[in-house]
Amino acid sequence: MAEELIHQPHDKFFKKTFEDPLAAAAFLRGHLEGDLVKFTDWSTLKLAGGSFIDENLQAFEADLLFTAKLHGEDAQFYILCEHQSSEDPLMALRVLSYMVRIWTAQAKSQPGRPRLMPIIPVVVAQDKKAWKTTARFHDLFALSPDKWEEVRAFTPDFAFRLLQLVDLPYESIQGTPAGILTLRALKAEPVGKLLGDEVWEHSLLRSVPVELLKYFIRYTFNADVDRTVFEAKLKELLGPDLTQNSMTLADQYRQLGVEQGLEQGLVRGELRALLALLYDVLEIRFNSIPNGLRTELSLIQDTAKLAELHKRAIRCATLEEFVAGL
């Protein structure tokens, strides 16, 4: 259980909630618009399985693919949850690459002449500030609208639905209770409000399955929150007004606190210190650290590895030589 609590809590929390077709359907109905919602038979929504994101982004993204009937024909709904520390101005290009992977996998699964299904992509952005990223692929090109006619037929165009949680009021989040709790928590965490009343609303917490409460508590436990306040919230949550089964959550949390709390705290502190030293050396020697490299280094959870990289950063002649040794 300890390993599960630490490894990719965003991914596990998001997927645990929205792998349920009922939760996914309620979310999509609430945050898509118009005829797309009207003409989709949401009772046919089914999880297709598989992941199409880049391996080096698995710590920052989670994705789910569903199929459903749209106008009586097969269609696909692709949900991508983004929790990177900074926005990607080329998000439309990345979404397109994932869509191509979906279609390629679909084509390989069909003998003879494949019949591809349309994809409706939805990106959920978890960030502390609103993105300026465009949701339309054509906007990435350096061509004014009056110069498009000659190349329009040769260039793909699409848009994805961009749902920015930071701009969405808590009360406007729609879906099942499980979906609402998950999105409220994802919205609150980057801005330091994960212990806020909007997330720990008892009427909402009473409405979600105990299994999801476990994932919610795991997610909160792994976040940078005030432990005293968290424990008070947890004690209140696990009071007699909730189901008796939820007491197992208290047992699990106590076990975590006793067996791992001190050790994990010491390890995290050492990791942060080593990483800060490594950043300092790289910035002093090479002026700046590319965002991709900074992200890759931040994922290292091995103190010995960070210490060895710190020595390499001092000795290497160029930044390229340092990166080659990762």
pLDDT value at residue 246: 46
- Residue 257 and residue 273 in one domain: no
Identify whether 129 is part of a domain: yes
Residue 216 placed within a domain: no
Same-domain status, 278 and 243: no
User: In this structure, are 114 and 233 located in the same domain?
Assistant: no
Q: Does residue 188 fall inside a structural domain?
A: no
What is the structure's pLDDT at 240? Answer: 53
- Whether residue 284 lies inside any domain: the answer is yes
State the pLDDT at residue 245.
45
Domain boundary residue among 217, 244, 261?
261
Examine the domain organization and report whether 34 and 143 are in the same domain. yes
Whole-number Cα distances in Å, 81 to 61, 157, 223: 6, 22, 17
Q: What is the pLDDT of residue 313?
A: 86
Q: Are residues 152 and 81 in the same domain?
A: yes
**Residue range of the domain that includes 281:** 262-324
| Residue 197 is assigned to a structural domain of this protein | no
Shared domain check, 28 and 152: yes
pTM score: 0.71
Domain boundary among 175, 195, 217: 175
DSSP codes joined into one string, 11-25: HHHHHHHHTSHHHHH
In a domain, 192, yes or no: no
* Same domain membership, residue 268 and residue 257: no
Do both 241 and 317 map to the same domain? no
Residue that is last in its domain, among 208, 241, 261: 261
Both 88 and 136 in one domain: the answer is: yes
CB 257 within 8 A of CB 1: no
Query: What pLDDT was estimated at residue 215?
Result: 86
- How many domains does the chain fold into? 3
The 8-class DSSP code of residue 149 comes to T
Whole-number pLDDT of residue 314: 86
Q: Residues in the chain, how many?
A: 326
Give the model's pLDDT for residue 297: 86
Which pLDDT score, from 0 to 100, does residue 253 have? Answer: 56
CA distance 268 to 282: 21
Same domain, 249 and 275: no
Alpha helices in the chain (DSSP H): 2-6, 9-18, 21-31, 34-38, 91-108, 177-188, 202-205, 210-222, 227-237, 247-259, 261-286, 291-298, 303-315, 319-324
Instruction: Tell me, yes or no, whether 139 and 276 share the same domain.
Output: no
Tell me the pLDDT of the chain (326 aa) as tens digits: 333 333 466 778 899 999 999 999 999 999 999 999 999 999 999 999 888 988 777 767 889 999 999 999 999 999 999 887 678 899 999 999 999 999 999 998 887 777 899 999 999 998 888 888 899 998 998 887 778 888 888 988 899 999 999 999 999 999 999 999 999 999 999 999 999 999 999 889 888 887 888 888 888 888 888 888 888 888 777 665 444 444 455 555 555 554 444 345 445 656 777 788 888 888 888 888 887 788 888 888 887 888 888 888 888 888 888 888 77
- Domain membership of residue 36 (yes or no) is yes
Domain for residue 221, yes or no? no
pLDDT at 44: 96
* Shared-domain flag, residues 292 and 246: no
User: Which residue has 């030589």 as its token pair?
Assistant: 321
Dist. CA 59–CA 133, nearest whole Å: 21
